Amino acid sequence: EEVIFSGIQPTGIPHIGNYLGAIKHWVAMQEKPATIYYSIVDMHSVTIPKDKSVLQNHILDMTACLLACGIDPKRSVLFQQSDVLEHSALSWLLGCQVPLNQLRKLPQWKEKTENLKHGGYLGVFSYPVLQTADILLYKTTHVPAGEDQAVHLELTNMVASLFNNFYGVFFPKVSLFSDRASARIRNLRDPTVKMSKSKGGKHTRIELTDTDDQIVNSVKKALTDFTSEVTYDPVNRPGVANLIEIHSGFTGLSTDEICQNSKQLDTGEYKLVVADAVIGAIRPIRDEYLRLRSDEGHLKDILRLGHEKAQETASRNWNEIRQLVGMTL
């Protein structure tokens, strides 16, 4: 049986990288005959502490955004990670078998720790172990996510096989589901790095609730190069390739088709075509978001329902894990 799990940090309004790399696939996968869990991973987001009301708002923003994108709570279990305590419990247990050197290699740790005199935070270091627990707790088989999550999936499979070898086979193998063209949408002002929710200022990303004008502006300001034709060359022309990938992600046209259709355009004119495609796709999401966000009671009800369903599986699996380990008498 297929079990799908994925998570997103409540660190602000999701951007079009989150949408094309992950959320779009989350929505599409609801057509499959699978059990599906989508989690707002608030425990991961507190590795960078913030004000209480900011976190609360971000959780509600994310819930409204995911619903506006088409996550259907009747089809998918949409829940808040910290509601299910078993994530932390399993994280501890799995962490007991994770070699430190494995974690030191991961890009996120290196990035966030570089300039810290005290050597970095435990939560940032063990972040990938908690992610492993999220995934394995539901005996997940498929994780739809962007390319940046591939290293975490490798760790997950490694940890699962260490557990299975020692305690007996329990966790299935997990595969990453990602779409090559949109698995890594880049920062609009600096196409050498990925588009990010937390890093980079104005016009580096397009958020799902941006206005039409903001979208046009950000696309117009996107860094390209001095060649005027529209060609797809991610290595030598990363800025233009990024626009083509965004365009492709929102229209379903292939990168070849897009270049064919854009033969008469220079990159400046092409930007307006891209902006139109983004606006067309985002406008209904933005409108639905604003409608949903005004009813917090409804959003909380959906998370409560999601918690109940996730909890049922989590409790059952955690109990079996405790038995395998010898924690139940």
Q: Which residues bind ligand TYM (CB under 6 A)?
A: 5-9, 17-18, 21-22, 41, 44, 131, 134-135, 143, 145-146, 148-149, 183-185, 194-195
The pair of three-digit structure tokens given for residue 46, joined into one six-digit string: 């507190």
The pair of three-digit structure tokens given for residue 248, joined into one six-digit string: 């492709």
Q: How far is the CB of 219 from ligand TYM (least distance, A)?
A: 16
The pair of three-digit structure tokens given for residue 289, joined into one six-digit string: 């978001």
Cα–Cα distance list, 157 to 119, 140, 163, 292 (Å): 28, 11, 10, 37
Sign of CA dihedral 150, 151, 152, 154: positive
Considering beta carbons, is residue 42 or 168 the nearer one to ligand TYM? 42
Whether 112 is catalytic: yes
The dihedrals phi and psi of 8, each to the nearest 5 degrees, come to -140, 140
Whether 194 is catalytic: yes
Q: How far is the CB of 128 from ligand TYM (least distance, A)?
A: 8
Beta-sheet pairing, 142-144 with 175-177: parallel
Can you point out the beta strands (E) in 174-271?
175-177
Considering beta carbons, is residue 9 or 35 the nearer one to ligand TYM? 9
Which one-letter DSSP state was computed for residue 56? Answer: H
Whether 221 is catalytic: no
Q: How far is the CB of 112 from ligand TYM (least distance, A)?
A: 12
Catalytic residue, from 74, 112, 220, 271: name it.
112
Q: How far is the CB of 59 from ligand TYM (least distance, A)?
A: 13
Considering beta carbons, is residue 197 or 286 the nearer one to ligand TYM? 197
Considering beta carbons, is residue 70 or 265 the nearer one to ligand TYM? 70
Quote the CA–CA distance of 274 and 264 in Å, as a whole number.
15
Q: What is the CA radius of gyration of the chain?
A: 21
**One-letter identity of residue 86:** E
**Residue number with the shortest CB distance to ligand TYM?**
21
Catalytic residue, from 24, 139, 197, 271: name it.
197
Q: Tell how far CA 101 is from the center of its chain.
A: 25
Considering beta carbons, is residue 195 or 258 the nearer one to ligand TYM? 195
Q: How far is the CB of 142 from ligand TYM (least distance, A)?
A: 10
Q: What's the angle, vertex CA 311, arms to CA 306 and CA 314, rounded to 5?
A: 130
Catalytic (active-site) positions: 112, 194, 197
